[in-house]
Chain A
Amino acid sequence: MRFKGTPVSQGITIGHAHPLDVEDALVPSYEIEESAVDAEVSKFNTALNRTIDELSAVKDAAAENAESDEMTAIFDVHIAMLKDPGIKRNTISKIITERKNAESAFSASIKSVLDILENSPDHYFRERVVDIRDLAQKVQSHMMGLEQAASASPFRDPILVASQLSPSQTGPFQDLAKGFVTEHGARTSHTAILARSLRIPAVVGIPGLMHSISPGDEIIVDGLEGEVIVKPSEEEKAHYIEKMKAFREYHEKLVQEAKKVSRTVDGHHIRLKVNIDFEEELKNCAEFGAEGVGLYRSEFLYLQCAPNLPSEEEHAAYYTRIAEAVYPHRATIRTLDLGGEKYFQEILEPKAVNPVLGLRAIRFSLRHWEMFQTQLRGILRASYKKNVSVMFPMVSMLEELQMARAALSEAMDSLRRDSVPFDPDIQVGIMVEIPVCALNAEAFAPYCDFFSIGSNDLIQYLMAIDRNNESMADYYDPHHPAFLRLLGSVAEAAKSRKIPVSICGEVASDPNLIPLFIGLGIEEFSMTPEALLEVKAKVRSLSFKECHKLAAQAVKAWTGTEVKNLLMGRPIKEKKFLGLKWSKGKSDG
């Protein structure tokens, strides 16, 4: 069986399916012996209690850090649902009287509750369906021993198959998984980013896949073409083994090239850095010739420490290891950017209908001053060798930057009082990723030591599309001339204050777009380590002058298609500009 999805991480792999979601179709159902009844009941009780304990731990951690019980109350509701005597009684009675195994007995009990709620005229009850499904999945995975399997998959060369993967699911599999396949997701979702940093192939966006795969099935993942083959024939296997070899050889060649300087043919230095989520990824970076870390996503440290928050010591130790590993290059630490699709949405804003537009990133940090102080002190402590930069995510208004800078000063004062060394001239920058900030870049430049353009979010907010919504993938178009003109104006604002500007989003990994960006005045790129090789090879083939000519053409376009055509050598037709008073278009355009 062949499936076609979106390739999001290069490479080819052959392995065995390890499904992670517990959907109805995958819940095992069988009749049990009378002698097994007690064991089945106790399996159910253990799984249920374990899930309750886990939720209680998360709740306690939330209660310690949150200011209101609003945030923790949702856990009380969930815990009460798990303790509901109706579901419990029903499940146990199905095990005893109908001789059903615990998983299917529980599944049937949950289903009868869901049926009632789903048909309720009250929208409040219909919304609870999602909560209950999620809770039920947690219990099921405990019963099916998936938690134990997390540290050692029962399958050789496991390939994780899921409807969607969250960081907490992929975490335990990092050293183990040979590939990822998901039903949902896009190039910029967690699965994709993680797969690329681990250098394992991944394909996303194959709806219904879970129903065609059984645990342990042999599968091939082609992260070049976006194909997934379930139970391949011998010929298919042979074909892919060949393809796998060819890809490896090509990759090896690029690694050899990586040691060379990142410079255009006319001698212009283009700085290439890496985005990382885990310190383990650093090992690839020096080998690939990176000039420092352009983006460390600190939320992954929070994730590793969950359900507790990282202490100041943990922050300082982790950031110091990164800074030391890249020394004398710089390490840019981005402060907490929780929100959107990332974990712990429940704690942040349980009722947010649209979390990507809600309380996240710097907005969250500024409202949790003590938590923010802990992180800032940790970052400052790692800066004593003067090679650390701090970056604030999702800044929309100048007032936020000023508040964040005040928080940083406060952290500095407290370290001074404790006589802890740090870099008092630590570089401070912002992620330019919200349109209002990009349009107002001139106002931010005097207060920043650098800009970093977060293209993933900038495109998402500019286009009003959810970047994880695969049916909207066509709209996610970095070729769009309005996006390019916006980048140009941010670069111009940075240049006027002589501060560097980089792109740290996914588009920086696309070699075809690099000449456009260089031409728009962006001379620094930070990307997933895997992309570094191809981007460097591209930079070394470019003429700086030609890039500028190309970009000057591109910004005259009206559609993304025109820009795509331009990149393939078709010139853009001249347009009549009206010279509108409020338009940012240049008068010579």
Chain B
Amino acid sequence: MASSTEITLKNKLGLHARAAAKLVNLAGKYHSHITISTPQLCADAKSILGVLTLAAGKDTLLRIEADGPDHGEAIDSIVELIEGKFGEE
């Protein structure tokens, strides 16, 4: 009931406040427990304060893990958001 993936942040500003808000909103739609980690830190993807403290800039390698009934969809949609550069550029 778990899956994970790795993806590199490609948008210019990295995980800044607005991008983090989008990520957290999206993660909040799933029942699974979702974490997002940089090589140094790990955060609850549903906590904006957690995500912000990752201070992940452009080109950071992120690892996303989801555990729960909808883990597959959760990972897919988060990957889509990050690949789409948070709809910013």
Contacts and interface: CB of A to CB of B under 8 A. Distances in A.
- Could you say which interface size class chain A belongs to? 10 to 19
Contact of A73 (B18, B46, B49, B55): B18
Interface string A60-90: 0000000000000110110111011111000
Contacts of B48: 77, 80-81, 83-84
Contact of A85 (B16, B18, B44): B44
B20 to A, nearest CB: 7
B18 A128 contact: no
Contact of A122 (B17, B22, B55): B55
B50 interface: yes
A85 B43 CA distance: 12
B25 interface: yes
A77 B17 contact: yes
Interface in B41-66: 44, 46-50, 52-53, 55
Contacts of A85: 44, 46-47
Nearest to B87: A69
- Majority SS at the chain A contact face: helix
A113 B44 CA distance: 15
A83 B51 CA distance: 13
A122 B49 CA distance: 14
Nearest to A131: B17
Contacts of B24: 80, 83
A340 B47 CA distance: 33
Most chain B CB neighbours (cut-off 10 Å) among A80, A81, A83, A84? A80
A84 B21 CA distance: 10
Interface in A103-141: 113, 116, 122, 124-125, 128
Given A80-B20, A80-B25, A128 B44 contact: no
- Majority SS at the chain B contact face: helix
B47 A86 contact: yes
Contacts of B21: 73, 76-77, 79-80
A399 B16 CA distance: 38
A87 B49 contact: yes
Contacts of A80: 20-21, 24-25, 48
Contacts of A81: 48-49
B28 interface: yes
A66 to B, nearest CB: 14
Contact of B50 (A79, A83, A86, A125): A86
B22 to A, nearest CB: 7
A76 B52 contact: no
A77 B47 contact: no
Contact of B49 (A74, A79, A113, A124): A113
Given A76-B22, A76-B25, A122-B55, A84 B17 contact: no
Contacts of A124: 16
A62 to B, nearest CB: 14
B54 to A, nearest CB: 12
Contacts of B44: 85-86
A83 B18 contact: no
Interface string B3-28: 00000000000001110111011001
Interface in A537-579: none
B30 to A, nearest CB: 13
B50 to A, nearest CB: 6
30 contacts: A73-B17, A73-B18, A73-B21, A74-B17, A74-B18, A76-B18, A76-B21, A77-B17, A77-B18, A77-B21, A77-B48, A79-B21, A80-B20, A80-B21, A80-B24, A80-B25, A81-B48, A81-B49, A83-B28, A84-B47, A84-B48, A85-B44, A85-B47, A86-B47, A86-B49, A87-B49, A124-B16, A125-B53, A128-B17, A128-B52
Given A80-B25, A83-B24, A86-B50, 12 more contacts: A73-B17, A74-B18, A77-B48, A80-B21, A81-B48, A81-B49, A83-B48, A85-B44, A87-B49, A113-B49, A122-B55, A128-B52
Interface of A: 73-74, 76-77, 79-81, 83-87, 113, 116, 122, 124-125, 128
